[in-house]
Structure 1
Amino acid sequence: MRRRLTLLVAATTVLVLLAFLVPVALLVRQVAADRALSRATDVIQALVPLIGTSDNNQLQGAVDAQNLPVSVFPPGGARPIGEQSVATVAVRLSQRTNESLTVDTAAGTEIVVPVSGSTGTWVVRAVVPDAEQTRGVTRAWLVLAALGLALIAVGLLVADRMARTIVAPITNLSQVSHRLARAELTARADPAGPPEVREVAGALNHLAARILDLLREEREQVADLSHRLRTPLTALRLEAEALRDPDESSRLAAAADDIERAVTAVIQQARRRGSERPVTGCDATAVVTERVAFWAVLAEDTDREVRRDLPASPLPVAVPADDLAAALDAVLGNVFAHTPDGTAFTVSLAARPGGGAILTVADEGPGFAGAGVLERGASGGGSTGLGMDIARRAAEERGGSLSLGAAPGGGAVVRLELAV
Structure 2
Amino acid sequence: MRARLTLLVAATTVLVLLAFLVPIALLLRQVAHEQAMNRANAVVQAIVPLAGGDVLTLQLAVTATAVPVTVFLPDGTPVGAPATATPAVRLAAADGQALTVATGAGRELVVPVVGRSGTSVVRTVVTNAELTRGVSRAWLTLAGLGIALLLVGLAVADRLARTIVAPITQLSDVSHRLAGAELTARAAPAGPPELREVAGALNHLAGRIQDLLAAERERVADLSHRLRTPLTALRLEAESLRDPDEAARVASAADGVARAVTAVIQQARREMSASAAQCDATAVVADRVAFWRVLAEDTGRAVTESLPDGPLPVAVAADDLAAALDALLGNVFAHTPDETPFAVTLTAHPAGGAILTVADEGPGFPPSAAERGSSGGDSTGLGLDIARQVATSFEVSAAPTGGAVVTLAIS
TM-score, normalised relative to structure 2:
0.92
2:312 aligned partner = 316
Quote the offset at 1:255 in angstroms: 5.0
**Which of 197, 200, 218 is the matching residue for 2:198?**
200
2:293 aligned partner = 296
CA contact under 8 A between 1:102 and 1:109: conserved in structure 2? yes
CA contact under 8 A between 2:354 and 2:410: conserved in structure 1? yes
Quote the offset at 1:28 in angstroms: 0.7
In the alignment, the residues of structure 2 paired with residue 93 and residue 123 of structure 1 have an alpha-carbon distance, to the nearest angstrom, of: 10
Quote the offset at 1:378 in angstroms: 3.2
Quote the offset at 1:150 in angstroms: 0.8
1:6-405 counterparts in 2 under 5 A? 6-52=6-52, 54-77=53-76, 79-243=77-241, 253=251, 256-275=254-273, 278-284=276-282, 286-301=283-298, 303-311=299-307, 313-318=309-314, 319-339=316-336, 341-342=337-338, 344-352=340-348, 354=350, 356-371=353-368, 373-375=370-372, 377-396=373-392, 401-405=393-397
What fraction of aligned residue pairs are identical, expressed as a percent? 65
Please give the secondary structure, in 2, of the residue aligned with 1:123.
Answer: strand
Specify the code of the residue in structure 2 equivalent to 1:308: T
Quote the offset at 1:254 in angstroms: 5.4
Residue ranges of structure 2 left out of the alignment (5+ in a row): none
Please give the secondary structure, in 2, of the residue aligned with 1:33.
Answer: helix
Q: CA deviation digits over 1:274-307, x for unaligned, max 9?
A: 45562322142x4333323332333444x44223
Please give the secondary structure, in 2, of the residue aligned with 1:183.
Answer: coil
CA contact under 8 A between 1:317 and 1:418: conserved in structure 2? no
Please give the secondary structure, in 2, of the residue aligned with 1:75.
Answer: coil
Quote the offset at 1:241 in angstroms: 4.3
In the alignment, the residues of structure 2 paired with residue 372 and residue 223 of structure 1 have an alpha-carbon distance, to the nearest angstrom, of: 30
CA contact under 8 A between 2:368 and 2:375: conserved in structure 1? no
CA contact under 8 A between 1:5 and 1:163: conserved in structure 2? yes
In the alignment, the residues of structure 2 paired with residue 277 and residue 58 of structure 1 have an alpha-carbon distance, to the nearest angstrom, of: 106
In the alignment, the residues of structure 2 paired with residue 127 and residue 92 of structure 1 have an alpha-carbon distance, to the nearest angstrom, of: 15
Specify the code of the residue in structure 2 equivalent to 1:415: T
Q: CA deviation digits over 1:107-135, x for unaligned, max 9?
A: 32110001111111111001111111111
In the alignment, the residues of structure 2 paired with residue 166 and residue 333 of structure 1 have an alpha-carbon distance, to the nearest angstrom, of: 56
CA contact under 8 A between 2:349 and 2:355: conserved in structure 1? no
Quote the offset at 1:80 in angstroms: 1.5
* Structure 1 stretch displaced more, 269-278 or 210-219: 269-278
Distance 1:60 1:184, change over 3 A: same
Superposition RMSD in Å: 2.3
Please give the secondary structure, in 2, of the residue aligned with 1:348.
Answer: strand
CA contact under 8 A between 2:92 and 2:98: conserved in structure 1? yes
Please give the secondary structure, in 1, of the residue aligned with 2:70.
Answer: strand
Please give the secondary structure, in 1, of the residue aligned with 2:16.
Answer: helix
Please give the secondary structure, in 1, of the residue aligned with 2:66.
Answer: coil
Distance 1:350 1:177, change over 3 A: closer
Quote the offset at 1:265 in angstroms: 2.6
CA contact under 8 A between 1:357 and 1:418: conserved in structure 2? yes
CA contact under 8 A between 2:365 and 2:375: conserved in structure 1? no
Distance 1:372 1:346, change over 3 A: closer
TM-score, normalised relative to structure 1:
0.90
Distance 1:316 1:274, change over 3 A: closer
In the alignment, the residues of structure 1 paired with residue 71 and residue 143 of structure 2 have an alpha-carbon distance, to the nearest angstrom, of: 43
**Which of 390, 408, 411 is the matching residue for 1:416?**
408
CA contact under 8 A between 1:349 and 1:357: conserved in structure 2? no
Quote the offset at 1:176 in angstroms: 0.9
CA contact under 8 A between 2:174 and 2:187: conserved in structure 1? yes
Specify the code of the residue in structure 1 equivalent to 2:310: P
In the alignment, the residues of structure 1 paired with residue 346 and residue 289 of structure 2 have an alpha-carbon distance, to the nearest angstrom, of: 15
CA contact under 8 A between 1:114 and 1:123: conserved in structure 2? yes
Specify the code of the residue in structure 2 equivalent to 1:413: V
Quote the offset at 1:51 in angstroms: 2.6
